[in-house]
């Protein structure tokens, strides 16, 4: 399979796109043609364990990796040593017609471990094959950074430079990142918000000479390797929900997914699964108070906020105002036309707005995408109600998903809510919601007490360039 840029031009095969990050013209890697699933494929995969299913699904995109190698990489990424059991993604009924898709069983207790564990394995495989090195430059609003660092720390051919917003993450999130002292891990706390971090990353990765000179790559959600790995759990969840159905009723059986969303990467994977043929009725996007995406899907107008307008909320990993992966959806919306997509993003850069109001009805009718906004009060109430109803404690981001999912539950259509993280990562909010303090276990206390190493830096492109130049692998 070949990959192209959303703004035009070929990017080679999967391994080429994996290491590229942003395309040279600023676009994002997408498959030249989306693979198609039929009922026979899904039934053939029904009996597979998670690692074998990942091999099949990712293999549709990674056609330049030998199947035996891909199987080895997937089995190294997914299994009991990393995720506690070979199930990897458990499903739990939480009542009111909703099922929780457990995506937070990995080492950093967040859904991003699932894609990152695969990415760590496949990047090392590609680099060992080519003899190259990679300097990963990324930005995190909370969970991407720790998941990436725990997947890549200690690897010989990779260094990671992770930008995070100062004082905008939970104590647990900071500890997971800053307590890593490996020589190849560089944490940089930027004065500002997540979008400031993300803008710095985009400016440096758009400088082709700097990018090539320092072997810069990306592992945030613009990396298609992550997107392909996330498609797997949509298919896994559909298979598990339909396991109990008579065989004759499985074909075309629709489910809906509710997805807490900040950078649009997780729900984009669901969009791709639906395009591939997975029977998805609705994709329910849940925003927090930084509801730029909800505004877009309600009106067709996309207006990112500036740093001053980006709120600090109790679901901090979603405190994002400019969603990188939205460009991939707009590319599909515009008939996969790279010239129109490039023109829209040029307009976004010029005026900080995209007007696609004439396309808004298609969001729901053609792509099944609906959206809503959840507030701090909603999160607290939903955490409390979910616990009282099911005995399950959910984190604030997942609570955003449950809050918005309720409005879209339909009879005979299972609503699957994608879990974002374990609740212990956000102890203060859980305590506020349930009225009792969350007592950290010994492992959590040790993590919070561990020495931390981080470099504080202003929102300054030149300082960041100098730091990377001084510490990058060559």
Catalytic (active-site) positions: 112
Instruction: Give Cα separations from 371 to 103, 149, 297, 312, 400 (angstroms).
Output: 21, 31, 6, 21, 11
Instruction: Give Cα separations from 72 to 55, 65, 66, 77, 325 (angstroms).
Output: 9, 11, 10, 9, 29
Using the CB atoms, write b or e for 224-245: b if 16+ within 10 Å.
Answer: bbbbbbbbbbbbbbbbbbbeee
Q: What are phi and psi of 95, to 5 degrees?
A: 80, 170
CA 19, CA 77: separation in Å to the nearest integer? 18
- Name the one residue in this structure whose structure tokens are 């203060």: 428
In the numeric block, which tokens belong to residue 260?
């807490």
Nearest in space to 324 (alpha carbons), one of 201, 435, 148, 452 = 201
Using the CB atoms, write b or e for 302-336: b if 16+ within 10 Å.
Answer: bbbbeeeebeebbbbbbbbbbbbbbbbbbbbbbee
**Orientation angle between helical segments 194-205 and 461-471, nearest 10 degrees:** 60
Beta bridge partners of residue 457, listed in sequence order:
190
CA 135, CA 184: separation in Å to the nearest integer? 9
**Orientation angle between helical segments 376-390 and 396-405, nearest 10 degrees:** 80
CA 232, CA 235: separation in Å to the nearest integer? 5
């Amino acid at each position: 399979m070949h990959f192209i840029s959303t703004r035009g031009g070929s990017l080679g095969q999967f391994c080429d796109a994996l290491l590229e990050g942003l395309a040279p013209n600023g676009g994002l890697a997408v498959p030249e043609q989306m693979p198609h699933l039929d009922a026979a494929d899904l039934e053939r995969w029904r009996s597979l364990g998670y690692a074998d299913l990942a091999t099949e699904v990712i293999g549709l995109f990674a056609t330049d990796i030998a199947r035996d190698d891909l199987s080895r990489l997937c089995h190294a990424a997914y299994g009991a040593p990393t995720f506690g059991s070979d199930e990897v993604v458990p499903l739990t009924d939480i009542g009111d017609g909703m099922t929780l898709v457990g995506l937070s069983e990995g080492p950093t207790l967040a859904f991003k471990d699932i894609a990152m564990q695969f990415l760590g394995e496949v990047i090392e495989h590609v680099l060992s094959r080519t003899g190259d090195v990679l300097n990963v430059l990324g930005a995190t609003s909370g969970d991407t950074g720790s998941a990436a660092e725990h997947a890549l720390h200690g690897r010989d051919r990779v260094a990671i430079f992770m930008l995070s917003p100062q004082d905008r993450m939970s104590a647990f999130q900071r500890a997971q990142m800053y307590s890593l002292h490996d020589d190849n891990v560089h944490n940089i706390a930027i004065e500002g918000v997540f979008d400031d971090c993300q803008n710095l990353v985009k400016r440096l990765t758009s400088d082709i000479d700097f990018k090539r000179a320092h072997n810069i790559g990306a592992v945030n959600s613009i990396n298609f390797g992550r997107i392909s790995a996330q498609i797997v759990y949509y298919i896994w969840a559909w298979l598990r929900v339909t396991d109990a159905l008579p065989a004759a009723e499985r074909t075309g059986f629709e489910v809906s997914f509710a997805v807490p969303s900040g950078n649009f990467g997780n729900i984009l994977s669901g969009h791709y699964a639906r395009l591939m043929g997975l029977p998805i009725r609705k994709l329910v996007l849940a925003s927090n108070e930084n509801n730029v995406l909800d505004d877009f899907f309600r009106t067709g107008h996309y207006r990112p906020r500036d740093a001053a307008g980006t709120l600090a909320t109790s679901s901090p990993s979603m405190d994002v105002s400019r969603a990188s992966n939205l460009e991939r959806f707009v590319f599909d919306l515009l008939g996969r036309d790279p010239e129109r997509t490039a023109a829209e993003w040029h307009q976004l850069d010029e005026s900080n707005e995209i007007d696609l109001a004439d396309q808004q009805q298609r969001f729901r009718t053609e792509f099944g995408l609906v959206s809503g906004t959840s507030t701090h009060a909603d999160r607290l109430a939903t955490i409390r109600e979910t616990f009282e109803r099911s005995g399950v404690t959910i984190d604030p981001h997942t609570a955003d998903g449950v809050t918005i999912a309720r409005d879209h539950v339909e009879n005979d259509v299972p609503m699957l809510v994608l879990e974002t993280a374990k609740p212990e990562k956000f102890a203060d909010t859980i305590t506020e919601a349930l009225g009792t303090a969350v007592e950290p276990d010994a492992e959590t206390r040790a993590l919070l007490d561990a020495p931390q190493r981080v470099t504080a830096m202003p929102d300054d492109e030149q300082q960041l360039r100098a730091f990377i130049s001084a510490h990058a692998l060559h």
